[in-house]
Structure 1
Amino acid sequence: MTTAVLREMRWWDIEPVLELEKDLFPEDAWSRGMFWSDLAHARGPEATRRYFVAEDEGADGSRRIIGYAGLATAGTESDSGSATGADVQTIAVAREHWGTGLGAVLLTELLRAATAFECAEVMLECRVDNVRAQKLYERFGFEPIGFRRGYYQPGNVDALVMRLRDPSAAVPSAPSAQGTESNG
């Protein structure tokens, strides 16, 4: 079991997140600028993004980022008539922590953020060959609604588009994991 501490991602986390990003997504890793741009919209009263990192403590007492996740809101009308929807921008967990539940912890935190933003729905894209991630999303109530052909490059891999209506219904009523230890 992984014991992780979740907290808001800050600018000083970009370099360690980039290392993990390049390891997990070598073909289509986000750039430093992409993370800077999203973090620029993650604070203050006009914030439209939320990003989190998960850290664990090494034997020497140092902290290491083992996962991260981000959400962006959009001001477009949703099918339910609410003013805001959200998109999961990214969820990543270090390989040695796959299968520990950390992905579910990060997704829960994103759905809490979507609920705080009063989003009526949450959308995401997932590689069609990433069955493990699809099963996670389905456990939270996401449903497949379409495909984006050739979305992931290189390799021309299709994306499965998934949607969750009413993210507040998919979130456990426990307090936010941000800043607390979570067994994932």
Structure 2
Amino acid sequence: MLVSLDELDRETAVAAVRALEVELFGSHAWSETSIRQELDAPARTYVFDIADDHAAATIQPDDVRGFAGYWYDGDDAEIMDVGVGKAHQRQGIAAAMMTWLIDRARSQGARRVLLEVRVDNEPAIALYRRFGFANIGLRKRYYQPEGIDAHVMALDLEPHIVGFQSAASATGESTGEPTGNATGDATINATSNEETK
């Protein structure tokens, strides 16, 4: 069951994110202070995966199997963090949360979704590519202290017109020419390892 940050007790959310961060990311884990600042920052949207048998009012930190969130600046939605507990990976949880985030970003008017991912995190890269994300850059030595590079990936939510568009196709008239849809919409059944930093 997916619940938004607004549906979850704030202390439960902070404790759950901190526990998952430590489990998944070790020395790269966000501190409790960083988590509080992130969740309280403006223009943040977070989703949590909870076992289906829990009512929102009774959710405890240990009931949270995964979390994901983004920052929306009025143009782009930037994925800030995605994590799924090791015991719950390869069950489609990250894919469900990514679908939720992308749908929410699209409904807010985002033109694209951006993220950074370690170049050696092949399962996460494969998940993002199934959604239509493409590499647009590289951040050298982004992950410290190891100095691991990060791919910068983007998913366009609005079609980009390349070249010229005829007046007929711009007005919706049929020209007999094939037309494409570059929205990046995708339906997936993901079974990847969902650790994504």
The TM-score range, normalised by the shorter chain, is: 0.7 to 0.9
Unaligned 5+ runs, structure 2: 159-182, 188-197
1:135 paired with 2:134, answer no
Code of the residue aligned with 1:26 in structure 2: it is G
Percent sequence identity over aligned pairs: 33
Higher helix share: 2
Which residue, 108, 119, 139 being the options, matches 2:99?
Answer: 108
Looking at structure 2, the residues matched to 62 and 125 of structure 1 have their Cα atoms a distance apart, in angstroms, of 30
Aligned equivalents of 2:133, 2:16: Cα separation in 1: 29
> Aligned-residue CA RMSD in angstroms?
2.2
Aligned positions of 1:56-67 closer than 5 A: 56=51, 64-67=63-66
Separation in 2, partners of 1:140, 1:57: 25
Matched, 1:52 2:47: yes
What SS does the corresponding residue of 2:30 show, helix, strand or coil? Answer: coil
- How far off its partner does 1:56 sit? 1.5
Matched, 1:170 2:185: yes
TM normalised by structure 1 equals 0.76
Q: List runs of 5+ in structure 1 lacking aligned partners.
A: 42-46, 76-83, 173-184
- Taking structure 2 as the reference length, what is the TM-score of the superposition? 0.72
| AA in 1 matched with 2:49 | A
Give the structure 2 partner of residue 122 of structure 1: 113
Question: Residue 171 and residue 110 in structure 1: after superposition, are their counterparts in 2 closer, same or farther (change >3 A)?
Answer: farther
Show the counterpart of 1:154: 145
Q: Which runs of 4+ in 1 moved over 3 A?
A: none
C-alpha displacement of 1:38: 2.4
Secondary structure of residue in 1 paired with 2:126: helix
AA in 2 matched with 1:72? W
Aligned length: 154
Match for residue 22 of structure 1?
22
Deviation at 1:49, TM superposition (A): 1.1
Is 1:31 the equivalent of 2:26?
no
